[in-house]
Amino acid sequence: MPVVQALKPAAEAGPPIAAAEADVVALPLKRPSLAERCGPVFSAASARVVPPLIVLALLLVVWELLCAQAGSRLPPPSKVLTDTWDFIVDPFYDNGGIDKGAFWHIARSLSRVAVGFALAAVVGIALGVLVGQSTWAMRGLDPIFQVLRTIPPLAWLPLSLAGFRDAQPSAIFVIFITSIWPVIINTSVGVRQIPQDYRNVAAVIRLSWYEFFWKITLPATVPYIFTGLRIGVGLSWLAIVAAEMLIGGVGIGFFIWDAWNSSRISDIIVALTYIGLVGFLLDRLIAALGHVVSRGTSAS
């Protein structure tokens, strides 16, 4: 065949000449630009930040339109900013007594919250584990807890003042007694949700109560514990602001009460803004801590 005849001379001529090896040249990779790398980050941030800013701007516009009219009892945002500009831009001034900047009032309130909430967290987790583990403890203590948790925070203040005879421990007690209940309830629920298989394995390998707590109970209940802590820290911040209105001294709650007595409505509005922002940051802090401790299983 013509094709075979055409191939014969090539085959008889000997082995084919080896092709020359080609040098491999590494082409430079194009690095993504800064805009390409930061684009997704900015997009995600914009999706979270822009909508609240738009809503806030709309609320400020509505507030300005409603309160800028003659005869309005509340100041518009423009007047609030004018009246409190010095207070906003200089939060660290200290003229002695209760004449202090916003930083010192908030810091004093936070110090009280830190002590009271820390005590509530320790005692609440311990009682929650006890109530969750023991049926007898749950039957004996749970009805009492359900009754006590319905008492308003300020109702405890006269009793604490009568017992401690001092404003500082009284405020800490009000924080403690207000924030402990969600910690107890959520911790006990988490303990009761531990799978029975975990308990069976612990019984087989004969874990002590101490080992069972650290290796099984605590890791399994961390998401529940931090849910209770997030609720508790919010209640703590609410309680201290209300308590400070009555106990006096330095604190954001007493600052609001003093501003009311002096008819400084703009100062009250700024203080309320600070309270909301600090409360939000406290909640985010506990949520972030829970996310780290629970390795992402706790809601943030």
Instruction: Show the 3-state SS of the chain.
Output: CHHHHHHHHHHHCCCCCCCCCCCCCCCCCCCCCHHHHHHHHHHHHHHHHHHHHHHHHHHHHHHHHHHCCCCCCCCCHHHHHHHCHHHHHCCCCECCCCCECHHHHHHHHHHHHHHHHHHHHHHHHHHHHHHHHCHHHHHHHHHHHHHHCCCCHHHHHHHHHHHHCCHHHHHHHHHHHHHHHHHHHHHHHHHHCCCHHHHHHHHHCCCCHHHHHHHHHHHHHHHHHHHHHHHHHHHHHHHHHHHHHHHCCCCHHHHHHHHHHCCCHHHHHHHHHHHHHHHHHHHHHHHHHHHHHCCCCCCC
CA atoms within 13 A on the CB side of 115: 13
* Paired tokens of 265: 């409505």
pLDDT, residue 69, reads 82
Residues in the chain, overall count? 300
pLDDT, residue 5, reads 47
Q: What is this structure's pTM?
A: 0.77
Question: Where are the domains positioned within the chain?
Answer: 83-293
Whether CATH 3.40.309.10 fits 83-293 = no
CA atoms within 13 A on the CB side of 103: 7
Q: Which amino acid is at 121?
A: A
pLDDT, residue 6, reads 44
pLDDT, residue 120, reads 95
pLDDT, residue 50, reads 82
229 touches 286 (CB < 8 A) = yes
Please report, in tens digits, the pLDDT of each residue of the chain (300 residues total): 444 444 444 444 455 544 445 555 555 556 666 556 666 666 776 777 888 889 989 999 998 898 888 778 889 999 999 999 988 998 898 888 888 889 999 999 999 999 999 999 999 999 998 888 888 888 888 889 889 989 988 899 889 989 888 888 999 999 999 999 999 999 999 988 888 887 778 788 887 777 877 888 888 889 999 999 999 999 999 888 888 888 878 899 999 999 999 999 999 999 999 999 999 999 999 999 988 887 755 555
Torsion of CA 174, 131, 286, 49, to 10 degrees: -100
| Burial state string for 166-188 with b = 16 or more CB within 10 A and e = fewer than 16 | ebebbbbbbbbbbbbbbbbbbbb
pLDDT, residue 241, reads 86
The residues facing 100 across adjacent strands are 94
